[in-house]
Structure 1
Amino acid sequence: MSLKFSVGDLTIHRIIEQEVPFFPALEMLPGLTAEVLAENRAWLREAKALDDQDVLILCFQSYVVKTPHHTILVDSCIGNDKPRPQRPKWNMKTDDTYQRALDVAGVSVEDIDFVMCTHLHVDHVGWNTRLENGRWVPTFPKARYLFAKQEFDYWTEQNAKAEVPPFADSVLPVVEAKRHELVGNDHQIGDHVRILPTPGHTPGHVAFAMGRGKDDAVFSGDLIHSPLQTLYPELSPKFDVDQAQAAKTRRSFLERYCDTDTLCCTAHFPSPSVGKIRRKGNGFVCAAM
């Protein structure tokens, strides 16, 4: 299993925190029928994307991307010491899996120049902060944390109605430490990093395209969770705020990168998680590298 990829002048490391059965396929994807699942069960199991009980297997990971100028962390996964009672495998974790994965990649928390979140859901912001003397402090002390303004505003509004724990313990402490920037969809970092609006999963969800002058790699976040959605882009998970918009965005994204050399780095596909988009019938596949 490869944890390191090179494309153009980018070096990409996968930082895996968990790879586990997550949700029953028919429950997570409300538009999925038992018949369609049966037609696809064999290849999904072979790809380690579905277990023997028809539960979707998801990988929870970050990507560290080294450009010629910066070291960037894309999404910060689940985190430790975070109260997540609805998710027993995430609740008050204390393991060193994430730190060991960074070590294997030869990266320290001090090396990260930018932390970029595709959106602000619990499993994409967790390591934004760590517990130190009873306080949440930024995990990556030298990094600027970039949050899409539309996404940040949406969660600020939700948090004002009732506390959203991941926002309270993994986003607001970064703001209080003055380590954040709210950025628009036209924001770029040098000539290597661009934002691609991909709304639907959340109102301000974005993907990140990287490469000098062309998209050598794209980081899709929760635009897509399972290889089954590549083949059937209309299948939106129940977690999408706007399932119809998410389906439209997903197909548009897959069309954009279909039959190109762009490396698609997914947030949740089972290992190897990274591939190139190719057309298959009325859908697509993410062909592993």
Structure 2
Amino acid sequence: MDGKVIFIGGGPGDPELLTLKAYNVIKKADVIIYAGSLVNRDVLNCAKNDSIIKNSASMNLDEILDLMEKSVKNGKLVARVHTGDPAIYGAIGEQIEGLKEKKISFEIIPGVSSFFAAAAALETELTLPEVSQTVIITRPEGRTPKPSAEAISKLAKHQATMCIFLGVQMIEDVVNDLLTHYKPETPAAVVQKASWPDEKIVKGTLNNISNKVHEAGITKTAMIVVGDVLDTEGITPSKLYDKEFTHEYRKGQLN
């Protein structure tokens, strides 16, 4: 059994945001299983002509593991391509568990998450000095349950930068939960398909973001970003490049 399964972070959509390591694996993979409901098919353009490519959107866990097992036993290299970074809402935990039970070798290659691509699209830094030094990554509860302590209404009390996955279809509920602690005038934005050619950006505040999202026709594949970091005027500069600030690599200049 010389084959192997490699989980790959396929990035947010733009094929050029695929890591070089992931690109090299896709290029030589014998079997590619990709999350077709989210992964941009163009990410796989570098695959070899005789590679077997399967869209996992129509497959269940047993079918995915069965294909992996048969391929690896035949000495095949399997690339399992997930959107963004597979560690965030990638559903790789149960796949890893299944592979371990079958004693199948695997590896994980990280990728560029969509919340990073959303921040780039919004031309913002998610952690600004004296504004927010914390980023909360979460999702609203849907068919997948959440621990009660992780409810958005409870996380909102930190008033940190918040990046909310898988919530745009219930934007009103998300906003209502956020308003338990954030002010109505708190900046908010929604980025649909960040880094894709048809990327769409909606900006507003918690007061009006729901209406703007509906007017833009955004119903899925979008990131909600909330926090004062989206208001980029009057930024307090970081100490890192302050000419008067001394650190390990540079002595500060006194006026």
For normalisation by structure 2, the TM-score amounts to: 0.29
Larger RCO: Structure 1 or Structure 2 (Cα < 8 Å, ≥ 6 residues apart)?
Answer: 2
Larger Rg: 2
For normalisation by structure 1, the TM-score amounts to: 0.27
Which structure shows the bigger proportion of residues in helix conformation?
2
